[in-house]
Structure 1
Amino acid sequence: MSTVLQLSNVVKSYGDAVALDGIDLFLPDDSYVSLLGPSGAGKTTLLRVIAGFETPERGAIRFAGRDIGGVAPYEREIGFVFQNFALFPHLTVEKNIAFGLENRKNNPVTDPQIVRRKARDMIALVGLTGLEERAVTQISGGQKQRVALARTLVTDPKMVLLDEPLGALDANLRMRMRSELRSIRERCGVTFLHVTGSETEALAMGDTVLVLDGRKIAQQGDSDTVYNHPVSPAVARFLNCYNIFSGVIEGLVFKTAAGVFPVGATVQPCAQKAYAIRYDRIAIRPAGTPAGEGEIAFEGAFLASEYTGSAITSFFTLDDGKVFEVETHLSHAAPESYEPHGRYSLIWKKDDAIVYA
């Protein structure tokens, strides 16, 4: 697969505050890319640098085979969909979408018939047929999102940047718009770079997932690789599905404040030492249940359970005070009931854990 965008050692600062510190990444053409990171990690700054709204102090940006470091935003052929949609409230759906064609700096379209045809073709593409003359103040949040996307796509960009495009929508609408966005992208055949702070959204939508940490790209890979093999404790923490213990490795064991764990098959080279076990790889058994061959067992006191629909997350307090989470999928078995403050054995296979050392 060819590369449409490549950044090499890109640095951006605001005064003494470094927002991006040596960003290296490449994006494949004709794909959906998710960019995941915590609030304040520099996700929006990275988008603005790619779009040309911000100028980095150092580094190279190549897009579609050319260096665009000194190219104006309107000449980059990169579309930008803002988090708040940025629609014109006094214009109809069709007029909002046509605005970019009629008012772009390079080659504006002046023929009203061509403008109308292109706008209506894009309205059909994003599923808004019948709403052409509706004011954007009279449509739903999901429909506004589609108008904002159509307004960008109608100008035929080679890539589209989306800054937390689902953040303003309710939970049900976010789920529906995930599949809508992927479907629209596939029909257009351009790369989407979708910024989000939601790990489930990033993993569900991205053919490629980028994780931003410490103002750098910490990991780039497909969803399965990022989810099952996070390269650092920070990435594992962003995914919000791993119990993480700090400690030290000595020989074939990892020593933590909660206990000593035998080291299994997965040891990930990393400057930060930690031990990680995913929530759904842990079994809850009666207190005193011993570990089987190749297993690890230790005890915790039950705090509470949280029902999430397809699973139940149970919270335990370990002897060192750490809260430990266990996820049980309801497709596996009927939910168990646990005694408040009762002690239970928490058991997992040592080879299911990741040791960072």
Structure 2
Amino acid sequence: MTLAISHLARRFGATQVLRGIDLQVRQGELIALLGPSGSGKTTLLRIIAGLDWPDAGTLSFDGADWLGKSAAERRIGFVFQHYALFPHMTVRDNIAFGLSVLPRSERPGKTQIAATVDRLLAFLQIGGLADRYPAELSGGQRQRVALGRAMAIEPRVLLLDEPFGALDAQVRRDLRRWLRGVHDSAGTTTIFVTHDQEEAFELADRVVVMNGGVIEQTGQPDEIYDHPATPFVARFLGLTVELPVTMRAGRAHAAGLDLAALPRRAIPDGPATLFLRPADILPVPDPQAPFRVAEMATTGALLRIVAEDGTGCRIESEVPRRDGRDLRQGQPVALRAVAGQIFPGSGQQPAQPIHTPMTLKEARP
């Protein structure tokens, strides 16, 4: 069973929120919609859920047109960021709610509902909370209850909108690992919205990167991380150092940079922009190099270094602190790129990297 989205468009007034979305989600997949605020992620999720309708395009599940069906007819499970639990109901009653309001012809008997709730309480590891009220639960416990309520109706598709956004960092990490295990055990097709790259990459089978109402790239986490398809994806995934280079016979060249480790690229000769992560730039002591160490700061495990040349170009790199023990303030260094992404042309933003002054305490290794 496949969820198929084709040419989906949605406008709110003069704002085009979705601009022709094409996506297929396979049975049992866990898909992350990843992107900044305003990229269209939640609007797409709401259209899938039947809480909003597109201006154009198609949406089908297992070949059936879902745009002609109500939210109830689609049998969607939806988990919101802020839980949306009923405060006057116990955990048990919250989980049972979706089953108890089904049409009489589809509604299970009370004994069957109770058995389903008991099974979910055990499955979600919250059996001891059955008779508590939401106000008596932690944020992580409330989110588990919300997930149980969504799963009780045995949804065809489970949708989660920033499900861990209201939780602190440690609880988010614990819950997302737990959710991956729940997904694998239940085999439910799941789509979740997030702006957290780490969350998307740890949880999802495939990541859909959205920006400005379009899909910039879809792929497995490692594929997207290692091979961003557009400058936006590169910037969004941390390739924050942008440098002008010249392509010759598939190789990138730039004064003061050692780019020999980068593979050949099928890019025409001429100007291009190299995108790098600070962790992929290795400063190497070299008395003949045009760059000098301008700033050094330590986080304990990492050493952050800013190198500057005579033209004012400043490049930030990040290395394990023990690997930078030979570096000193003012020392000339060559900059060796160990990985990066190259796009033709001079880029949509100024190629010279913009450096924000460090706020960490300056230190020597």
Q: Does the aligned pair in 2 maintain the 1:268–1:355 contact within 8 Å?
A: no
Q: Does the aligned pair in 2 maintain the 1:252–1:263 contact within 8 Å?
A: no
Please name the residue that 1:96 is paired with: 94
Q: Does the aligned pair in 1 maintain the 2:5–2:24 contact within 8 Å?
A: yes
RMSD over aligned CA atoms reads: 3.0
SS of match in other structure, 1:130: helix
Give the C-alpha shift of residue 192 in structure 1.
1.2
Q: Structure 1 residue 316 and structure 2 residue 303: aligned?
A: no
TM-score (norm 1): 0.85
SS of match in other structure, 1:217: strand
Please name the residue that 1:353 is paired with: 340
Please name the residue that 1:164 is paired with: 162
Please name the residue that 1:274 is paired with: 273
Q: Does the aligned pair in 1 maintain the 2:251–2:263 contact within 8 Å?
A: no
SS of match in other structure, 1:88: coil
Give the C-alpha shift of residue 101 in structure 1.
0.9
Q: Does the aligned pair in 2 maintain the 1:287–1:299 contact within 8 Å?
A: no
Please name the residue that 1:196 is paired with: 194
| Percent of aligned pairs sharing the same letter | 33
Q: Does the aligned pair in 2 maintain the 1:68–1:76 contact within 8 Å?
A: yes
Give the C-alpha shift of residue 242 in structure 1.
4.9
Give the C-alpha shift of residue 316 in structure 1.
1.5
Q: Structure 1 residue 30 and structure 2 residue 28: aligned?
A: yes
Q: Report the residue type matching 2:342 in the other structure.
A: V
Within 5 A, what are the aligned runs for 1:101-112?
A: 101-105=99-103, 107=105, 109=107, 111-112=109-110
Give the C-alpha shift of residue 136 in structure 1.
1.1
SS of match in other structure, 1:133: coil
Aligned partners of 2:316, 2:92: CA distance in 1, in Å? 49
Q: Report the residue type matching 2:284 in the other structure.
A: R
Q: Does the aligned pair in 2 maintain the 1:101–1:109 contact within 8 Å?
A: yes
143, 146, 152: which one aligns with 2:144 = 146
Give the C-alpha shift of residue 282 in structure 1.
2.1
Aligned partners of 1:29, 1:255: CA distance in 2, in Å? 46
Unaligned residue ranges in structure 2 (runs of 5+): 345-365
Unaligned residue ranges in structure 1 (runs of 5+): 291-297
232, 235, 238: which one aligns with 2:236 = 238
Please name the residue that 1:215 is paired with: 213
Q: Does the aligned pair in 1 maintain the 2:250–2:264 contact within 8 Å?
A: no
Of 253-262 and 148-157, the range deviating more from structure 2:
253-262
Q: Does the aligned pair in 1 maintain the 2:303–2:324 contact within 8 Å?
A: no
TM-score (norm 2): 0.83
Of 239-248 and 33-42, the range deviating more from structure 2:
239-248
Change over 3 Å in CA distance of 1:109–1:338 after alignment to 2: farther
Within 5 A, what are the aligned runs for 1:1-357?
A: 4-105=2-103, 107=105, 109=107, 111-245=109-243, 249=247, 264-267=262-265, 274-288=273-287, 299=291, 301-305=293-297, 307=299, 312=302, 314-316=304-306, 318-319=308-309, 324-329=315-320, 333=322, 336=325, 339=328, 344-349=333-338, 352-357=339-344
Q: Does the aligned pair in 1 maintain the 2:256–2:291 contact within 8 Å?
A: no
